[in-house]
Amino acid sequence: MEFIMRKGVPNNLETNENRNYKIIAVDDEEGIIDSLSIFLKRSGYDFTGVTDPQEAIRMLKEEHYDLMMLDFIMTPFHGDQVVEEIRKFDKELYILLLTGHKDLAPPLETIRRLDIQGYCEKSDKFDQLLLLIESGIKSIAQMNEIKKINDELKNTYDMLEKAYLESIETLRYTVEAKDTYTRGHSDRVSEYSVLLGKKVGLSENDLKTLRIGGLFHDIGKIGVPDTILQKESKLTDDEYSEIKNHPSIGAHILSTATIFRDIIPIVKHHHEKYDGTGYPGKLKGEEIPYLARIAAIVDSFDAMTSKRTYRDAMPMETVISEFERCKGTQFDPQLADAFLDILRNNYNEIEEIQRKYNKEEITV
């Protein structure tokens, strides 16, 4: 059944706004395509008509269209088969299905599954079709506006995130200026954390959290007196108590920005011990956030292999013995075993990180 142009269809349907929307119609009857072309171009739309469903699929892959109308009963493919193929690469195209007879309409389940926004019976009256098209265009306009707002919000969020990161990075450099030991330490902890995270099969999102958490894990040292950070001899008990405040101070500094929410557990709990004797929360075993357990291992490794004013860097043999001895007490035993495997079998990756951040290599 063909659409037949009715006399008296208004010629003033065209609006400047309609020109912004591209419509494609697919029907294997040329007469219907011709009728739709006259009607929709008169209404001001950028219209393309196609009689070959395969050609239509190719065009939709190569060009952007806002709305598609297609016949349900076509050869060699029915409309639902065409939509099935289109939905593999375009989830957003607004689709109206045209049917010649009410009893040949597709099942409701098919319409829902393929996200077909509506269907219309072919008729010699265009009123219903026009209303459906106008409704579709309004919906498309609203979705475009929502996307625009979301993009603007994302850009604003990205700028805010960048500003926060730059501010905290400035604080990190201030800490490094105060404490010569910290210089390069946070970078190495960040890299070692990712290395161990990959070893135990963490997701990209967790690896990103580890990377940033490692960079800022000691940010709380900004609140520790310089006299303690720069002291060349061993710390007194009172001075050590001051140092032990830095995880809580760091967590407090980062708590003002939601972008740091995921790294706060690392910052706050990287000095917890697996047996519950660590600080600040005396958390035990599985109570300690998993990423903080990773940071605890690599933080300790970098401390052991760094030269301090009151002691030399430990030889690798001693470091390995310490990890073996402290499995299950200071460190998560499974994570400690994974890191020991890196030290024994992939130490070149550790050396690469040390070279990158200008640390003297430790003799194995």
Of 129, 26, 130, nearest in space to 68 by CA: 26
- The CA-atom distances, in angstroms, between 54 and each of 60, 86, 168, 343 are 10, 10, 55, 58
The pair of three-digit structure tokens given for residue 140, joined into one six-digit string: 């498309």
Cα angle 207, 208, 213 (rounded to 5 degrees) comes to 95
List, by residue number, the catalytic residues. 221
The sheet carrying 22-26 orders its strands as 46-50, 22-26, 67-71, 94-99, 118-121
Ordered alpha helix ranges (H), 244-328? 246-254, 264-269, 290-304, 316-326
State the helix-helix crossing angle for 347-356 and 333-345, rounded to 10 degrees: 80
Side-chain half-sphere of 292: how many Cα atoms within 13 Å? 28
Half-sphere exposure of 294 (CA within 13 A, CB side): 27
Find residue 118's DSSP bridge partners: 96
Pick from 119, 61, 74, 77: nearest CA to 94: 119
